[in-house]
Amino acid sequence: MESLNALLQGMGLMHLGAGQAIMLLVSLLLLWLAIAKKFEPLLLLPIGFGGLLSNIPEAGMALTALESLLAHHDAGQLAVIAAKLNCAPDVHAIKEALALALPSVQGQMENLAVDMGYTPGVLALFYKVAIGSGVAPLVIFMGVGAMTDFGPLLANPRTLLLGAAAQFGIFATVLGALTLNYFGLISFTLPQAAAIGIIGGADGPTAIYLSGKLAPELLGAIAVAAYSYMALVPLIQPPIMRALTSEKERKIRMVQLRTVSKREKILFPVVLLLLVALLL
C-alpha cells in the first residue's frame, strides 16, 4: 500500500490545481481552434502548446530556479532566502519581499537558488533569452514589417486615419482597467493598466514587449488575450459589419486607386523610420 500511495502521490494529476486545470482547458481550446477551425494556426497553435507545457503539474517547465525553490517548501532553504531579504520565512512573505526588491537583489536570490541545486525550466530559460531580453518581439516586428504591403495606403493616404483611429482602443482599454481598479472590482496598478491597454492597438508584438517591461507578471495573460482575440477577428467582425452597414454598402467592390511603384514602397518605410528616429 505504501508503494501504491507513493506512486499516486508522484502522479501529476494528484497535484493539479484549479488554476492549472482551467488553463489546460483553455490551451486545448486554442489548439482545437487552430487545428479544427483553422483560426490563425501560426498564432494559436504555439500558444496553446506552450500553455499545455507551462501548466503540467509538478513539471516546473515555466518556473525559474527561485520559483522552484519556493514551490518545494523546504523550511531550511526558505529561512536562508528570508534572512537575505529580511522577511518572515514563509513563501507569501518572501514573494512580497521579492516584488519590492531591486532587480540586482532578485538576481542574487536566483543565483542562490541555483547554488542550492535548483535549475530553471526550459520555458523559463526561453523566456529569459527571447522575451526578457526583448529580442523575440523585435524579430517578430521585423518579420511582420517585411511582409507588410503599403501599396493601398500609399495609393489612398486617407486610409491612414482608419489606422490612427484604431489607437483610441489603447486609451479606452487603459481607462477601463483603471475604472475597474477605482471601483475595487479588480486591482490594477498604472503600469499594469498601460500593459493591458496596449492590447487595444491590436498589435501582438507590441503587447508582449510592453507587458514584459511594465508588468511581467501579466505577460502570459496579455499575450494569450491579445493573440486570441486577433485570431478570432474573422469570427467577431462579420456580425458587427452587418449591424453597421447596409447590404448595398457591403456589395461595393473596393479597387486600388493607382498603381504604386516599387520605389515608393521601398522609400516609404525608410523615410518613415528616419522621421520617427529624428523627431522622437
Task: Check whether residue 252 and residue 220 sit in a common domain.
Answer: yes
Task: Check whether residue 137 and residue 275 sit in a common domain.
Answer: yes
Task: Check whether residue 105 and residue 60 sit in a common domain.
Answer: yes
Task: Check whether residue 161 and residue 269 sit in a common domain.
Answer: yes
Task: Check whether residue 193 and residue 82 sit in a common domain.
Answer: no
Domain's final residue, options 100, 130, 160: 130
Average pLDDT (12-18) is 70
Q: What is the pLDDT of residues 48-58, one digit of tens each?
A: 888 888 888 87
Task: Check whether residue 97 and residue 151 sit in a common domain.
Answer: no
∠ CA 52-70-185, rounded to 5°: 70
Domain's final residue, options 68, 101, 130: 130
Average pLDDT (16-22) is 83
Q: What is the pLDDT of residues 133-189, one digit of tens each?
A: 778 877 877 777 777 788 888 888 888 887 777 778 888 889 999 999 889 888 899
DSSP result, 124-142: HHHIIIIIITSHHHHHHHH
User: 255-264, long-range: CB within 8 Å, 24+ apart, which pairs?
Assistant: 256/151, 256/152, 256/155, 256/156, 257/155, 257/156, 258/155, 259/155, 260/150, 260/151, 260/154, 260/155, 264/154
Contact 94, 85 (CB under 8 A): yes
Domain's final residue, options 109, 130, 151: 130
pTM of the full predicted structure? 0.67
pLDDT given for residue 274 in this prediction: 92
| Average pLDDT over the chain, rounded to an integer | 83
Residue 266: which domain range?
Answer: 133-279
Task: Check whether residue 69 and residue 182 sit in a common domain.
Answer: no
Task: Check whether residue 94 and residue 123 sit in a common domain.
Answer: yes
> Is the pLDDT confidence value at 7 over 80?
no
